Amino acid sequence: MAEPADPAGTKNKLLKGEPIGWIKEWHPGTAWTDIPGTKAFSAPNGVVVSLDGKYIFVNLSTGRQVARITRGQNPPKVDFAPTGILPDNVRWSASGKSLLVGGHDVSTEEFFARVGASYAKSNVGGNVNMPFKILRMDPETLEFTEVIGSGVYGVMGGGTGAIEVGNKLWVSSMKADRIAIFPLK
């Protein structure tokens, strides 16, 4: 997601949602190869594969969408689903029938400002004062439903990942020294 030789250029591309980063794959006995159709991705961050290997789902953070790459055709088909957030992590639900997508509910500019302020104070622990959302995505229709609404919940902000544990949703943060546990409805 970054061009080490050009950090200012990287930030400018991220702020504009321009392409930066792509997806590669590896198989035993072969070298890493680029997945066709992913060079236009804007900040790919968070990847899961369907159990049958037919789909790869990738969060495009500054693209504010999730990409679904359909395998088994050349080139692979890529569909996009707008999230309205800066999606960070993606994980299969406990049932394996939907995806949980977590991300920041701020503009890209505000994200960089808040992250910079957060890291200026400390590199570890504490609250990340950034609203987040957790969405559930249908992998076939690419439609979203909101699971956790936008907010900072007490001392829990910057939520990025979610996992279902029984009838609760555990949410991780990008920097905090805590997790949040929400009841599932």
Among residues of the chain, what percentage have pLDDT more than 90?
Answer: 61
Closest CA to 2 of 12, 67, 104, 175: 12
Residue-wise pLDDT for 23-32, tens only, equals 998 889 988 9
Query: What are all long-range contacts of 10-17, with beta carbons under 8 Å and residues at least 24 apart?
Result: 11/112, 13/42, 14/42, 14/43, 14/61, 14/62, 14/108, 14/112, 15/62, 15/108, 15/109, 15/112, 17/42, 17/62, 17/63, 17/64, 17/108
7-24+33-183 CATH = 2.120.10.30
* Domain spans of the chain, in order of start: 7-24+33-183
Mean pLDDT for the chain overall? 89
pLDDT at 5: 79
Residue-wise pLDDT for 80-132, tens only, equals 999 999 999 999 999 999 999 999 999 999 988 877 655 555 555 667 789 99
What is the reported pTM?
A: 0.90
Backbone CA torsion sign across 79, 81, 82, 85: negative
